[in-house]
């Protein structure tokens, strides 16, 4: 199962994926979510919570990369889980995609102030978790 949550800010869309990107309904859901953001300048795929990806999922990412390029849209992959990162590396797709951490993506997309703010918020959250 794949769950998608989309957040838009101006001309940037963040597509948060959770679950599995595998052949079947999951790749259709992902494709539809990204293509729906056709008016965005940048589409960020947050892969933090993606547990697994198969050949169909990798093929879909490549297809979406080509779709985005042909429309002048930047497609960025952010925070791939260890398994997804390994699959991208083994297939050498890590050389095709713009892959970064979420913090780095924030820095590039909105400037250092936002990234510093995000880092400080994350630090505060860690302190709160430790306190409980």
Please report which helix (H) or strand (E) contains residue 75, including its range: strand 74-78
Alpha-carbon gap, residue 44 to 42, rounded angstroms: 6
pLDDT for residue 74 is more than 60: yes
Tens digits of residue pLDDT in 10-25: 889 999 999 999 999 9
Give 49 or 114, the one with higher predicted confidence. 49
Work out the pLDDT band at 116, boundaries 50, 70, 90.
low
CA angle, corner 95, sides to 75 and 45, nearest 5? 25
Weakest-pLDDT range from 29-38, 75-84, 108-117? 108-117
Q: How confident is the prediction for the chain on average, in pLDDT?
A: 85
Give the domains, in start order, of the chain with CATH numbers.
2-100 (3.30.750.24)
């Amino acid at each position: 199962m794949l769950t998608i949550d989309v957040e838009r800010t101006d001309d940037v869309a963040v597509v948060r994926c959770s679950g599995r990107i595998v052949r079947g309904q999951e790749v259709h859901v992902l494709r539809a979510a990204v293509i729906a953001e056709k008016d965005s300048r940048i589409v960020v795929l947050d892969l933090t919570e993606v547990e697994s990806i198969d050949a169909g999922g990798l093929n879909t990412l490549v297809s979406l990369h080509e779709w985005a390029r042909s429309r002048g849209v930047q497609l960025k992959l952010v925070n791939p889980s260890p398994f997804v990162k390994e699959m991208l590396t083994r297939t050498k797709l890590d050389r095709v995609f713009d892959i970064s951490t979420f913090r780095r993506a924030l820095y590039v997309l909105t400037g250092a102030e936002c990234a510093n703010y995000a880092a400080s918020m994350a630090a505060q959250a860690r302190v709160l978790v430790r306190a409980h």
